[in-house]
C-alpha cells in the first residue's frame, strides 16, 4: 500500500513539474524524499521483524529455563 502511495506521489509531483507549476529541482527533491521514506520504512519493518524473532527466542528460552528448573 505504501509503495503505491509513493508511486502516485512521485507521479503527481512529476505531473506538476511538467505543467510548470513546480520547479523541477523541488519535484526531484520531493520524489527523492518519498523514495527515502519508503526505504526507511522497509528498514524499520526488517528491524521490527528481527525484534519479534528475538522476543520469540527469548520466550522459548524462558520456557526452557522453567522446564529445566522443575
Residue 14 makes CB contacts below 8 A (sequence gap 6+) with 27, 31
Cβ atoms 3, 11 nearer than 8 A? no
Boundaries of domain holding 65: 4-69
* Domains contained in the chain, number: 1
Q: What is the pTM of this model?
A: 0.52
Sign of the dihedral through C-alpha 35, 36, 40, 41: negative
pLDDT per residue as tens digits for the range 43-52: 999 999 999 9
pLDDT tens track for 21-31: 556 677 677 77
Task: Give the other-Cβ count within 10 Å of 27's Cβ.
Answer: 19
For helices 2-19 and 24-69, angle between their N-to-C axes, nearest 10 degrees:
170
Amino acid at each position: 500500500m505504501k509503495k503505491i502511495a509513493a508511486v502516485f506521489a512521485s507521479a503527481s509531483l512529476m505531473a506538476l513539474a511538467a505543467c510548470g507549476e513546480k520547479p523541477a529541482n523541488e519535484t526531484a527533491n520531493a520524489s527523492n524524499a518519498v523514495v527515502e521514506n519508503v526505504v526507511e520504512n522497509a528498514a524499520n519493518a526488517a528491524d521490527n521483524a528481527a525484534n519479534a524473532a528475538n522476543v520469540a527466542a527469548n520466550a522459548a528460552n524462558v520456557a526452557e529455563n522453567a522446564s529445566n528448573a522443575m
